[in-house]
Amino acid sequence: MKRLFKIVGIVLLSLLVLLLLVFFLGTSRVDTTPYFEEAYYKNTMKRLDSARAAMTETSAPVFAGFSKVSITPRLSDEVDVATGSFKSVPLAGYGGRAGKSATGIHDSVFVMATALRIGEQTVVLVASDLLIMPPNVVDSVTAMLRSKGISREQVFYSATHTHSSVGAWGPGYVGEIFAGKEDHDIIRWLVQQTAKSIEIAIADLKPAKIATGTFSVAKYTRNRLIGKTGTKNNDFTYIALEQVEGKKAILGSYSAHATVLSEENFEVSGDYPGYWARKMELSFDYAMFFAASVGSQGPTGDGTGFERAKNVGEALADSLTARLSGVELKDNINLSYLSLKMDIPTFKIRLTTKRDLAPALSKRLLPFSNNVYLQGLKIGDLLWVTTPCDFSGEFALQLKNSLASYGYHANVTSFNGSYVGYIVPGRYFYLDEYEPRIMGWFGPNMGEYTFEMIRHLCRAMTGGDNI
């Protein structure tokens, strides 16, 4: 009996040693080194200096072009990438769906583009009815468009962030949890449709007029991270465009998560941004919605399910329509833009408040693209900033307030074609909440680092020293 106890003791001790080895060799400490001491910060600052030197501002007549290309999948017995027909289409957004296929189509979803040409400068704003703009899709679109003279730096991506649209684009185990099993046919189709949308918008460029503006719609937003003790970004930002002899388009951006529809929904839908677009298209040929600073910002509104999504979307449309009455459109405007490729901290999936999964193991669970950009577009007195994440509404509000004192209105959008998780203030990093704990992949300083880079971006475009 003593011999048996001895053997069991040796086995248990061996297992304990093995677990400790796995823990310490397969994990690493959360890095708290100040970001301004790190190589990634210094490298990005050098790149910013080069981008700033190459930036130009143009004042000239406005040309605009538009497109709307369907990404509504067809559930079929046959796979046909050309027509978007697939046997199974998982919805992206909620891990609770466990990768199950959509059961049908509630409302159509699209990828839309607006091209702007001011003098010799051309930029394209792309809005997709997707959870995010998938990095692998954007990388492939970039390669396709390069031969046509369209660079990554000219394209400003975003998504509506609907949690009820096409999935199957996320690589790795984590991507599969949130977007369903990766399907290369669906990825090819999204690439095809996105590239087509950009090309059509550029081909449609015609003389146009433009107006921009921002107003508050506080009723439909809440701080979902820390509730009423936190601040929230209530602004709705718009760009109105009208071809002199042609079509009209409205671009809108708001910060409430498109999570009105829950994980219990298995029908393809644009959520409340889809209802907003359909209501606005009663007056415009094109209505494009861009998720703004959705980090920590949740939706509110009356009703449940699709009824609630309709109430929120159409209420936002009604508020915007009222604001557009009497707005003066200009046929000549200033434009400049700046795209900054960022170096970032080492990617690590969090395990505890003090330890991360080792980088090599983290990348096996979620292969990560290093094509990470911040982008800024200045149209008259509007600064339109794009970010590679769910960007914090609290950070965005700070930026807006700062720029307002210089005479500018600003909008920060999320999901610009790369994805680094949630960017929230570092003071929230150790909260036991979904945004910082599950999606805080780059350490407690990533928020402040990213926010500083955005401030430098805005300084470059405005000439301000203290933004």
**Whether 63 and 188 share a structural domain:** yes
Contact in structure between 223 and 231 (CB atoms under 8 Å): yes
For the segment 330-335, the average pLDDT, to the nearest whole number, is 96
Per-residue model confidence as pLDDT tens digits over 70-128: 999 999 989 999 999 999 999 999 999 999 999 999 999 999 999 999 999 999 999 99
Give Cα 422 to chain centroid, integer Å. 10
Q: What percent of the chain has pLDDT over 90?
A: 81
Sequence-distant (≥ 6) Cβ neighbours of residue 222 within 8 angstroms: 232, 256, 297, 298, 299, 300
pLDDT at 382 over 90: yes
| Mean pLDDT, residues 175-186 | 93
Co-location of 108 and 249 in the same domain: yes
pLDDT, residue 316, reads 98
Q: Are residues 106 and 4 in the same domain?
A: no
Crossing angle of helices 305-324 and 271-280, in 10° steps, is 40
The confidence score (pLDDT) of residue 352 equals 80
More confident site: 272 or 12: 272
Longest dimension (CA), the chain: 95
Calpha distance 204→66 (Å, rounded)? 6
Q: What is the mean pLDDT of residues 388-413?
A: 95
pLDDT, tens digit, 9 for 90 and up, residues 202-217: 999 999 999 999 999 9
Question: What is the tally of structural domains in the chain?
Answer: 2
Instruction: Check whether 7 has a pLDDT greater than 70.
Output: no
Q: Do 170 and 247 share a domain, yes or no? A: yes
The span from the CA of 173 to the CA of 180, in Å, is 9
Same domain for 17 and 51? no
Same domain for 235 and 375?
Answer: yes
For residue 114, give the H/E element and its range: strand 110-118
Same domain, 39 and 26: no
Provide the whole-model pTM: 0.92
My answer on whether 19 and 57 are in the same domain is no
| DSSP bridge partners of 291 | 254
What confidence score (pLDDT) does residue 354 get?
Answer: 82
pLDDT (tens digit per residue) in 148-174: 999 999 999 999 999 999 999 998 888
Interval 291-329: pLDDT, tens: 999 999 999 999 999 999 999 999 999 999 999 998 999
Looking at the fold, whether 384 and 326 belong to one and the same domain comes out as yes
Mean pLDDT in residue range 174-199: 95
What is the structure's pLDDT at 31? 84
Q: Name 67's bridge partners.
A: 113
Answer whether 338's CB lies under 8 Å from 151's CB.
no
In b/e form, how buried is each residue of 83-105, taking b as 16+ CB within 10 angstroms?
Answer: ebbbebbbbbbbeebebebbeee
Its sign, for the CA torsion 48, 49, 50, 52, is positive
Shared-domain flag, residues 141 and 278 = yes
pLDDT at position 225 is 94
User: What is the number of H-type helices and E-type strands within the chain?
Assistant: 11, 24
User: Would the CA dihedral through 265, 271, 275, 281 be positive or negative?
Assistant: negative
Alpha-carbon dihedral 240, 324, 259, 274, rounded to 10 degrees: -60
Q: In terms of residue numbers, what domain contains 12?
A: 1-30
Alpha carbons 299 and 232: distance in angstroms, whole number:
11
Q: What is the mean pLDDT of the chain?
A: 92
**Residue linked to tokens 């369903």:** 180
- Cβ atoms of residues 160 and 129 within 8 Å: yes
pLDDT digits (tens, 9 = 90+) for 364-381: 887 777 789 999 999 999
Pick left, alpha or beta for residue 378 (phi over 0 → left; psi -120 to 50 → alpha; otherwise beta).
beta
For residue 6, what pLDDT is reported?
45
CA separation for the pair 191, 180 (Å, rounded): 18
Percent above pLDDT 70 for the chain = 94
3-class secondary structure, 383: strand
pLDDT band (50, 70, 90) for residue 5:
very low
**Mean pLDDT, range 219-234, rounded to an integer:** 93
Q: Tell me, yes or no, whether 18 and 129 share the same domain.
A: no
Q: Could you tell me if 46 and 6 lie in one domain? A: no
